């Protein structure tokens, strides 16, 4: 069994008092999800998430390191992969999606995002983040 690790930001921003989340359309696979990328052994999870946010969205974000969410799946028969997400706050709505895998991004409410994602792990992440945000960012 081989183990892999990726990291990603769950980027949020307030629009007129409404918190929205950034979704990315992953070009090759054709699905909506969150930015994520490979974890490098020479960096911390925090450094990886900040790097990936910059590489895939062109955004500088502030991490809420108290919110850490892990999802595990098997992309291939003999591979187990963990994806670690941290909540990332942006004060800028401009996205420069210049990563080759992302063809489009969109700011959506949590309810809208739940209707767009296709993986149950993404729904679980949205639900967990929504509950956390309601308590932490009243």
Residue 131: how many CA atoms within 13 Å on its side-chain side?
6
Q: Give residue 96's pLDDT.
A: 79
Region 28-44: mean pLDDT is 90
The distance from CA 65 to its chain's CA centroid, rounded to whole angstroms, is 14
Q: Give residue 128's pLDDT.
A: 98
Question: What does the block give as tokens for 99?
Answer: 């990563």
Element (DSSP H or E) covering residue 31: strand 31-33
Burial class (CB in 10 A: 0-12, 13-18, 19+), 128: middle
Report all structural domains of the chain as residue ranges with CATH numbers, in order of start: 2-136 (3.90.79.10)
Report d(CA 45, CA 66) in Å as an integer: 13
Residue 78: how many CA atoms within 13 Å on its side-chain side?
2
Among 27-31, 44-48, 126-130, the range scoring the smallest mean pLDDT is 27-31
All residues at 6 or more sequence positions from 43 whose CB lies less than 8 Å from its CB, including other chains: 51
- pLDDT for residue 27 is more than 90: no
- The predicted-structure confidence for 83-124, as pLDDT tens digits, reads as follows 999 999 998 888 876 667 788 899 999 999 999 999 999 999
* Eight-class DSSP state of 90: -
Among 37-41, 91-95, 126-130, the range scoring the smallest mean pLDDT is 91-95
Instruction: Report which of 27, 14, 26 is spatially closest to residue 107, judged by C-alpha positions.
Output: 14
Question: What does the block give as tokens for 40?
Answer: 């490098």
Report d(CA 30, CA 35) in Å as an integer: 14
């Amino acid at each position: 069994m081989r183990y892999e690790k990726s990291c990603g930001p769950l980027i949020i921003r307030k629009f007129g008092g409404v918190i929205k989340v950034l979704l990315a359309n992953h070009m090759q696979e054709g699905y909506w999800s969150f930015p994520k990328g490979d974890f490098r052994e020479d960096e911390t999870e925090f450094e990886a998430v900040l790097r990936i946010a910059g590489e895939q969205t062109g955004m500088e974000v502030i991490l809420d390191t108290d919110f850490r969410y892990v999802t595990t799946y098997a992309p291939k028969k003999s591979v187990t992969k963990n994806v670690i997400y941290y909540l990332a706050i942006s004060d800028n709505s401009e996205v420069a999606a210049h990563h080759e895998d992302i063809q489009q991004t969109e700011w959506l409410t949590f309810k809208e995002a739940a209707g767009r994602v296709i993986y149950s792990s993404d729904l679980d992440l949205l639900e967990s983040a929504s509950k956390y945000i309601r308590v932490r960012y009243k």
